[in-house]
Structure 1
């Protein structure tokens, strides 16, 4: 009866789920805007003692949605006018089953493949760390080559999936995992071919327009952004409690200008590495200035607390229209710039061990 009622609205979809052993008492259905990267709550539901719930939404075009559970656990869905069934066990949520939505099934397979590659990368990272401790340079060099191959295979898989999937949300989501500064030739070709693959999609038109604006800029925009060796543009914004802060107030220290947002999953996954670096070097003339591309102040504050970000955090709460993001030509996050005591940029986009290694070098 529920599925029949759902069909009365031609753009409506229904999600019926049953997750056993679920600790939470409610679940949210959220829409993920693939152009602005904003997240909007569409529906909420109570969960019974068997983990059963029912949610509904509506979208004029195929879209990306997520089920938001307790403890910031998620299941992503690619949906368009479908009735979907979700089932699984809370203790192995990544092994959920989905039916009624071919696009969501494809997305689940994509995540499974990416997860396998990431597991290989994590394993190789542990091996390389062990070799560094033991000073085994010859094996470390070979392991570095293997690591490069694994990373290349992951990139090639993501590019192939983005180029060949027949589902618009899947293509737009997967391609945003790539590093735009490294994969620009592929992304340029992807943006060019996208309207031909999906000629009637307004979402695609908006995505391509934003991509072209972000990459090529305009007459009034900084097309390339600051480069290593250039003086860092000034940044001025407010902390969560309203205190005005500027980048220049940190002059005399090494400062990592860290662009992130509470809604950015890659940022949240990178935050533990930044926290570790901060704890290691905070007493060695080093500071971090977090610049958030959030619009929701409460979600921003909550993410700061959840991730243990003890350094100065500022935002103008304008999302992608952030003045700092514009001045630094930040088109994807996480992104960062390492500024020396004179105010000069000496490195950018330092991730994981690269950040620690760079700080070891300049702060020795």
Structure 2
């Protein structure tokens, strides 16, 4: 009898844990899901490039940032979230590329769906990210890129040419080498 009660209790605990795990996964999917993508690069010929939408916002360090102020520079826009495993994996490559390319290329992060800025700030500190990131907890800035970035495709990296047009895109993780090539092609 005790053995049966223990077995039933164990099964109930397992079912509860499984249900809790499934619910947690559903919550993550609904609130902060990501599509890691394939990492394939889409490169657009100059004649086929579309204008990047207006982008502005407040960075994690409280400063105003506007894409229109960057005309004349190549801009690397990386959409990320602190909760996103592929974002964590690609962060060192983005940091290394930004360092190698220096101030001639403007890197900007677009932090999305971190409802509290603390995890995003911790991510920036943990990975040594020196370039700014716009804090976009509700995804409004991200939605401006509809047609160029899927709202669920996180991470995504765009390279915007000196005239403000999207020159290339990676849906999923980007490597340093790929990013350097994308920037060179956009120039």
Interval of TM-score (by shorter of Structure 1 and Structure 2)? 0.7 to 0.9
Q: CA separation of 1:281/1:298 partners in 2, compared to 1, >3 Å: closer, same or farther? A: same
Q: In 2, Cα distance between the equivalents of 1:252 and 1:2? A: 70
Q: Is 1:281 the counterpart of 2:98 in the alignment? A: no
Q: In 1, Cα distance between the equivalents of 2:12 and 2:181? A: 59
Partner of 2:181: 357
Q: CA separation of 1:180/1:347 partners in 2, compared to 1, >3 Å: closer, same or farther? A: closer
Q: CA separation of 1:238/1:7 partners in 2, compared to 1, >3 Å: closer, same or farther? A: same
Shift of residue 289, structure 1, vs aligned partner: 0.9
What stretches of structure 1 move > 3 A for 4+ residues in a row?
1-11, 176-182, 360-363
Shift of residue 360, structure 1, vs aligned partner: 3.6
Partner of 2:30: 36
Q: Is 1:13 the counterpart of 2:32 in the alignment? A: no
Partner of 1:308: 128
Q: CA separation of 1:228/1:239 partners in 2, compared to 1, >3 Å: closer, same or farther? A: farther
Deviates most, 300-309 or 1-10: 1-10
List alignment gaps of at least 5 residues for structure 1: 15-29, 40-172, 183-226
Q: In 2, Cα distance between the equivalents of 1:180 and 1:347? A: 12
Shift of residue 328, structure 1, vs aligned partner: 1.2
Q: Is 1:327 the counterpart of 2:144 in the alignment? A: yes
Q: CA separation of 1:238/1:333 partners in 2, compared to 1, >3 Å: closer, same or farther? A: same
Shift of residue 242, structure 1, vs aligned partner: 2.6
Partner of 1:106: none
Shift of residue 249, structure 1, vs aligned partner: 2.0
Partner of 2:83: 263
Q: Do the aligned partners of 1:236 and 1:247 also contact (CA within 8 Å) in 2?
A: yes
Q: Is 1:252 the counterpart of 2:76 in the alignment? A: no
Match of 2:121, SS state, is helix
Q: Do the aligned partners of 2:39 and 2:170 also contact (CA within 8 Å) in 1?
A: no
Q: Do the aligned partners of 1:255 and 1:286 also contact (CA within 8 Å) in 2?
A: yes
Q: CA separation of 1:335/1:343 partners in 2, compared to 1, >3 Å: closer, same or farther? A: same
CA distances 1:30-73 after superposition (whole Å, capped 9, x unpaired): 9333532539xxxxxxxxxxxxxxxxxxxxxxxxxxxxxxxxxx
Of 137, 140, 160 in structure 2, the residue corresponding to residue 339 of structure 1 is 160
Q: CA separation of 1:37/1:347 partners in 2, compared to 1, >3 Å: closer, same or farther? A: same
RMSD (Å) for aligned C-alpha atoms: 3.2
Shift of residue 343, structure 1, vs aligned partner: 1.2
Q: Tell me the TM-score normalised to structure 2 length.
A: 0.73
Match of 1:349, SS state, is strand
Partner of 1:236: 56
Q: In 2, Cα distance between the equivalents of 1:238 and 1:257? A: 15
CA distances 1:124-183 after superposition (whole Å, capped 9, x unpaired): xxxxxxxxxxxxxxxxxxxxxxxxxxxxxxxxxxxxxxxxxxxxxxxxx9xx4443989x
Structure with larger Rg: 1
Q: In 1, Cα distance between the equivalents of 2:116 and 2:124? A: 13
